[in-house]
Structure 1
Amino acid sequence: MYAEPREVRATPLTVPDLMRMRVERQPIAALTAYEASTAALMDLAGVDVILIGDSLGMVVQGHRSTLPVTVEHILYHAEAVARGSQRAVRIADMPFGSCPDPQTAYRNAARLIAEGNTAMVKIEGAGVMLPVIEYLVARDIPVCGHVGLTPQSVLKTGGYKLQGRTDEAAEQVLANARAVQNAGAALMVLECVPAGLGKLVTEALSVPVIGIGAGVDCDGQILVLHDILGIATRRRPKFVRNFLDGSGSIQGAIRTYVDAVRSRQFPDSEHSY
């Protein structure tokens, strides 16, 4: 049974701190958050990165995908999270349709940074997104890339499916990751790929790689808050574990998750591909 929350220093982490953690081989613990109260609990538990994710479209708004989420939605939730979080690096998702060209992407990203009080924005995919990433980074907006399974591409891919299963597909995931890094991304989310590919991508890149269903060898892990609490109504992916079981409280569940990531006990083989 979890009793007292353990205080963690409130000194804010920065984007360069995440690179330091990679170099020192200290696993990065990340979670999504959408409001102030759980963000504050994450700071107490030592969560390093909070993503204000467009996953809110599914777990908060009840949509079947992330596609209906807007910049205004992300901004609203980013402002709320910032009121509760002092320590973690806060990252705002750039939602579907918010990056049609570099100039529009800059206007949207600048709002999420300045008004949402975040340190970084996350952009899904490579290809046409590469000039967008370059444009933002050149204008001092840190960017987190996202390759592998990209939920904003669900209409094209036909569902939320494991990526990189064949040699050719794995090579494409690795090529995308390298291209996004070369465009200037300072962090990478790698989603839903075989654990071996997760290890390969992490070793190939020089920026921290945060896995979600990408195996234990990534530089860190991220999950959706509702998933670690077992309250999501959608089908639970293989890489999700309910950390509330046996933890006694939401605070305990978050702390248990952080400890499992730090000790590289999560994800185990049961929660990897």
Structure 2
Amino acid sequence: MARRITVYDLHSRKGQQKWLQLHVDSAAEAAAAVEAGIVILSCEPDHNFEAIRAAVPHAFLSAGMPHGAVSTPDEAVRLGFELLRRGADSVYCSHSPRFIEAMAAEAIPVTGHVGLVPNRATWTNYRAIGKTADEALRVLRAVKDLENAGAACVEVEVVPVPLADLITRRTPLITMGMGCGSACDTQYLFSSDVLGTHAGHYPRHAKKYADFLALEAGLQAQRVAAFRAFAADVEGGTYPEPHHQVGMDPAELDRLETLAQSI
């Protein structure tokens, strides 16, 4: 698009368009995502945030509010406004609906979270949520609570596909689906999983399309080799060579020697 995507754009196309979405960690990843046609992004509000925003001026960018960063709704409003000032288009918030309601009352677009919510996983463990009718009903109620609080979007993580489909059909919120098949309004993955940047656990819903870990290992080996060659050159006297240095006219050097005697 020739302008930045807004909440209005997303809501206007609900049920008509499936969006791709990535959580990115750097400006380079964000720019690559947009070049690939992925214009719904999320990221952490860390030191990379401004660079990410500058790299993708027209993308819809959600900034995560760290869980526990605020302890009152008023603090959530202040931090929400700060994230908007820095360039966020929405604020991801895994706090309770009362925090979301306070931000929404000030027209701060908020993305809530249902299903497997990592910040609350001590209550559920890391597993699919909503496989029984009773548990699925609790997820539906959580979506309704977010709806009533005024949220703009909801991340739906690792719930059965039929439940994700029911949520998406029944809520006006934009559903951002991770591990929910293709039922939600967006298909959402983390760039670290797509790029294969880590050696840890890859969730069942992730698909690795590249092996950046192996590439980085190769680059690290080249770094070590280059540094060793540099050290060997210095030790052997082959670096620096004359063309790496700045000389001085002998007459000027003689004059300097004379002038230096007065110091």
TM-score using structure 2 length: 0.76
Q: Would you say the 8 A contact 1:10–1:43 is kept in 2?
A: no
Q: Which residue does the alignment assign to 1:36?
A: 27
The counterpart of 1:152, out of the listed 94, 106, 119, is 119
Give the number of the structure whose residues are more often helix, by fraction: 2
**In the TM superposition, what whole-angstrom CA distance separates every residue of 1:59-109 from its partner, at most 9, and x where no partner exists?**
xxxxxxxxxxxxxxx242322211211221000111120232101111222
Name the count of aligned residue pairs: 212
Q: Structure 1 stretches of 5 or more lacking a match?
A: 1-8, 54-73, 250-273
Is residue 219 of structure 2 the alignment partner of residue 228 of structure 1?
no
The counterpart of 1:118, out of the listed 83, 88, 97, is 88
The counterpart of 1:26, out of the listed 17, 21, 24, is 17
Q: Secondary structure at the match of 1:76?
A: coil
What is the 5 A alignment of 1:45-60?
45-53=36-44
**In the TM superposition, what whole-angstrom CA distance separates every residue of 1:143-185 from its partner, at most 9, and x where no partner exists?**
111111111113343x321111211110000110111011101
Q: Which residue does the alignment assign to 2:157?
A: 191
**One-letter amino acid of the counterpart of residue 122, structure 1:** Y
Q: Which stretch has the larger CA shift, 221-230 or 12-21?
A: 12-21
Percent of matched pairs sharing the same residue: 31
**One-letter amino acid of the counterpart of residue 148, structure 1:** G
Q: Which residue does the alignment assign to 2:7?
A: 15
Q: Secondary structure at the match of 1:226?
A: helix
Runs of 4 or more consecutive aligned structure 1 residues displaced over 4 Å after TM superposition: none
RMSD: 1.8
Q: Which residue does the alignment assign to 1:218?
A: 184
TM-score using structure 1 length: 0.73
Q: Secondary structure at the match of 1:22?
A: coil
What is the 5 A alignment of 1:176-187?
176-187=142-153
The 2-side partners of 1:20 and 1:45 are apart by 23
Q: Would you say the 8 A contact 1:199–1:215 is kept in 2?
A: no
Q: Which residue does the alignment assign to 1:239?
A: 205
**In the TM superposition, what whole-angstrom CA distance separates every residue of 1:26-64 from its partner, at most 9, and x where no partner exists?**
1011101122111111121221211114xxxxxxxxxxx
Q: Would you say the 8 A contact 2:40–2:61 is kept in 1?
A: yes
The alpha carbon displacement at 1:210 in A equals: 1.1
Instruction: Specify the structure having the higher radius of gyration (Cα).
Output: 2
Q: Structure 2 stretches of 5 or more lacking a match?
A: 216-263
The 2-side partners of 1:236 and 1:38 are apart by 19
**One-letter amino acid of the counterpart of residue 40, structure 1:** A
